[in-house]
Amino acid sequence: MSGITEEQTRKVAEMARLKLTDEEVKRFTQQLDKLIEYAEQLNELPTENVEPTSHVLELKNVMREDHARTMISREEALKNVPEQKDGLIKVPAILE
C-alpha cells in the first residue's frame, strides 16, 4: 500500500465518529487504497481536448421563479413543535 496509511484511515474514522478495531483499520486501509488507485486511473485518460464542464447535461436556468408569498405567523409555525423556548424550536444538542 502506497496511497493511504493506517493513520489516515484512523483520522477519517474519527471524523466520521466511527470506532474501528485494529483489524477493521487494516481492512479499510487496504480497501481505501484500492479505491484511490482506481480513481487515479482517471489521470491517465487523454483529456487535453475536452472542455471543462460543471454538469454532464446542458441545463439552462433550472431554478424556479421567485415569487413573494404570504408567510405563516410564528405562532402557527410553532403550533406542532414538540418543544420550544423563547419562540424558537428547541432541538437536542449535536455537539460534544
What is the pTM (predicted TM-score) of this model? 0.49
How far is the C-alpha of 34 from the C-alpha of 37, rounded, in Å? 5
Give residue limits of the domains in the chain.
6-44
Task: Please indicate whether residue 40 or residue 1 has the higher confidence score (pLDDT).
Answer: 40
Phi, psi of 79 (to 5 degrees): -60, -40
Q: Please give the pLDDT value at position 2.
A: 59
HSE at residue 40, side-chain half, CA atoms within 13 A, is 9
What is the Rg, in whole angstroms, of the alpha carbon atoms belonging to the chain? 24
User: What percent of the chain clears pLDDT 90, i.e. is strictly above it?
Assistant: 57
Domain 6-44 has CATH 1.10.20: yes
State the pLDDT confidence band at 8, using cuts at 50, 70 and 90: very high
Average pLDDT for 39-61: 85
Q: Strand pairing partners for 85?
A: 88
Write the pLDDT tens digit of every residue in 16-45: 999 999 999 999 999 999 999 999 998 899
